[in-house]
Amino acid sequence: MKKLFALAAALIICGVLGQSAVRADEPTKIKVGILLPLTGTFAAVAETQRDGALLAVETINRKGGLSMPWGKVQVEGVVEDDEAKLDVGVRRYRYLASEGVKGVGGQTWAPLAYAINSVVAKDPMPYFPTCVMSKDAYMKGKLAGSTFSTAYSPWTVGYMAGKAAIKDLGKKRIFFLARTDSWGWDMRDGVTAAAKELGAEIVGYDEVSLGTGDYTATLQKVRAAKPDVFIGSQFGGDAVALLKQVQQMGLNKEMTIFSAFMTNVVAKGVSPEALDGVYAMHYFYYDLTGFADQDVVKSAKEFTDLYRAKYGVPPDSYAVIAYTAYMEMFRGFEAAKSFDPAKVTSALMANNGEFSTVKGPSRWREDHVAEYKYAAFLVKGKSPSERRDEWDLFAVKGSLGAQNGESVLPSLKSLGY
């Protein structure tokens, strides 16, 4: 009799443990990490990325959660501050992993994204960096198998800026100002590639470090070179300072000014007078009035209305980069019917890697970089009299990548594929 009771007890315990194991594999709620530099130099941009990520979480939960084989699964976004520091960021990524998150996205500072990618390569996790990483990061064998990048490299930014200046604006003589790091040098190489391909000339070149406050010496070189267009790689506060001094010196009256990569947060820091007439590449601009593709106009407006309803302002480029990243993470979970990194990767790459975004069709290339039909929009700063409100910053003049998204990315062959 004692043996019978012992056997019954053992069966009950095994049954309970078995049910617990099933519940662990089939959760009704999961966590995903949102890791961004919410303090420090990049905080303003990081806040828009956080908002985009949290809106993606809310979008999924509003539908009842992720649609998994065992039922609906709610998602919780766990926000951590990486402080744009390598040691802090990697430590907090490991903390998120130890807490059982099913995927992580984020980063505004590219070197940290690459460092986390190295951790992911050794211990796989669905990882979606939301920043513009250096071209070298996409070389074959460097990007982890479960890392997917919804932005591109600075090479692509430079190539698009150069191509737009030459082909859309008809400029043939270019002065390019780089930043003394991979951001500036990759962009320089992209502009140079566009100039070579389209028959333009780089008539002047200079480079300055991140955080430069006085551009007087460089702008004197620009004036002396007499280019058709002056393209600057500066971003954030650097771009604000540069455009202010360009206007003060009157260079905007002598040539076309082109800020290679722009966001609304940055543009808001530039006076309306200094932004007037400045061209730039914008990953996503919320007001596509007049754009030819009405499907994209409609989807952009729907997303803008959704974002405005939650945050009271229109979405910025980096908010859309983050929103796209997390929506793809969630699509990967649902398509894989699993949270396993290898299965999620396979699911995202199925069907030629095709997926939809708020700015039109896209697909994942072999290097896990998003290839967009509309990689970026060419915008022109509005004059003070043209603006309807504080966020009416630009008019959209065109787009890059419309014929073939891959045409603005480095070739797979050049990356070792």
Please give the C-alpha separations between residue 235 and each of 35, 160, 267, 279, in angstroms, as whole numbers.
Answer: 21, 16, 10, 14
For each of the chain's 417 residues, which pLDDT tens digit applies?
445 444 444 444 445 444 444 466 799 999 999 999 999 888 989 999 999 999 999 999 999 999 999 999 999 999 999 999 999 999 999 999 999 999 999 999 999 999 999 999 999 999 999 999 999 999 999 999 999 999 999 999 999 999 999 999 999 999 999 999 999 999 999 999 999 999 999 999 999 998 899 999 999 999 999 999 999 999 988 999 999 999 999 999 999 999 999 999 999 999 999 999 999 999 999 999 889 999 999 999 999 999 999 999 999 999 999 999 999 999 999 999 999 999 999 999 999 999 999 999 999 999 999 999 999 999 999 999 999 999 999 999 999 985 555 689 999 999 999
> Amino acid letter at 263?
T
Ordered domains of the chain (ranges, CATH): 24-151+300-372 (3.40.50.2300), 154-282+375-415 (3.40.50.2300)
Q: Token digits for 247? A: 């206007």
Distance CA 21, CA 18 (A): 5
Whole-angstrom distance, CA of residue 370 vs CA of residue 338: 22
CA distance 190 to 161: 8
Question: Beta-strand (E) ranges in 37-149?
Answer: 66-68, 71-81, 104-106, 127-129
Sole residue written with tokens 């998602």 = 75
55: amino acid identity, one letter: L
